[in-house]
Amino acid sequence: MEDYFLTRFQRKTRIELQRIVDNQEHFQPEAVLAATKLLNKKLSEQALPILDEAAYPTRDEKLKVDRLSLSLDYRPFFRTLSYRELLTSISIALFGLAIIGIINYYSDERFFKDVHSIWRGHTILFVFLANHIIYRYEHKRSNNFLGRSINDLFLLVSLMLLAISYKFIIGGTYDFRIGNGVLGIIILVSVITMSIFSFEIGLGLLKMLLKKIRCQIF
């Protein structure tokens, strides 16, 4: 079986072979093995690094940017961007809204008394964190700072759109106005961007800490 794949992949380029190795969950083990062998062969012949340097920085650069997980390289994220990210954002946003719905529904109960706002806050925090955790396990690699920030933006937009749609469907009103025209929009975008970046700097620190204790989850 492996020979079959070795023959079949003979004409594939280095990038195509790398893609098979990166997405091995979608291929038969023999195919992955064959792709790895061919890739190693091609690399030894050409003496080139395994991966695109721009997407994967050299060891020294990697150490520098990864110290705080603050890499601003957008290519790794966009290279693998697909419907999966969209589905993750939608599913997690819906899950977050459902949890918040339950918290609101039971907000006057004894077990939520005085703490329902804290629960709501924690739920929001959890969905953003879960987004990164799923990304890591789905892509079998950790997302960098910029990738995480873009992912956060997807989730935030999904949350807002779904919340507005839900209110609309159940017959509620959603009073969302931006004052001061263009200036208001600029301020809003700046606030959102700064909030996401601040949040991700925090997460970068957490990620560094988790790496040190060998418990990296995102």
Partner 1 sequence: MSNFLRLKLTLIVGSISILTLIPLFESNFNAPVTMHRWKQLDWDDFQGFVKPFTGWGAGISSDIFIEFDSIQGKFSAYAAMNNQSSWKRIEAMDSKYTLNHEQYHFNITEYHARKLNQLIKKKNLSNESEVNSELYALRSELRKMQVKYDTESDHSLKRAFQRMWEYKIDSMLNETEDYPLFQENGNIEVFFPDKPQVLLFSLEDEKFTGHILEKYDALFWIIDMNFSSTDTSAIESFAASTLAENGLSDILVYRDLLKENVIFDSKSKDTLKNEIVVDKWFLGNNTTYWLRNRHPIGEENEEIYKRMGDQFFNSFKVLEE
Q: Where are the alpha helices (DSSP H) in the chain?
A: 2-8, 14-22, 29-46, 59-66, 75-79, 83-105, 116-139, 145-169, 181-212
Question: Under rule CB under 8 A, which residues in 168-187 are in contact with partner 1?
Answer: 170
Q: Which two tokens stand for residue 155?
A: 């989730």
Measured distance CA(142)–CA(132) in Å, rounded: 8
What's the closest the beta carbon of residue 92 comes to partner 1, in angstroms? 7
* Residues 16-75 contacting partner 1, CB under 8 A: 25
Residue 73: half-sphere exposure toward Cβ, Cα within 13 Å: 19
d(CA 2, CA 13): 18
Residue 41 or residue 140: which is nearer to partner 1 going by CB?
A: 140
**Per-residue string for binding with partner 1, 72-101, x by CB under 8 A?**
------------x--xx-xxx-xx-xx--x
Q: How many CB atoms lie within 10 A of CB 100?
A: 18
- Give whichever of 25 and 60 is closer to partner 1, judged by the CB atom: 25
Q: How far apart are CA 125 and CA 132, in angstroms?
A: 11
Q: What SS3 state is found at 48?
A: coil
Interface positions, 108-167, toward partner 1 (CB under 8 A):
108-111, 113-114, 134, 137-138, 166
User: Which one, 3 or 114, has the nearer CB to partner 1?
Assistant: 114
Q: Kindly state the smallest distance separating residue 161's Cβ from partner 1, in Å.
A: 14
Q: Is 102 in the site for partner 1 (CB under 8 A)?
A: yes
Handedness of CA 82, 88, 93, 98 (dihedral sign): positive
Between 39 and 92, name the residue whose CB sits nearer to partner 1: 92
CB of 188 to partner 1, least distance (A): 21
- Chain residues that interact with partner 1, rule: CB under 8 A: 25, 84, 87-88, 90-92, 94-95, 97-98, 101-102, 105-106, 108-111, 113-114, 134, 137-138, 166, 170
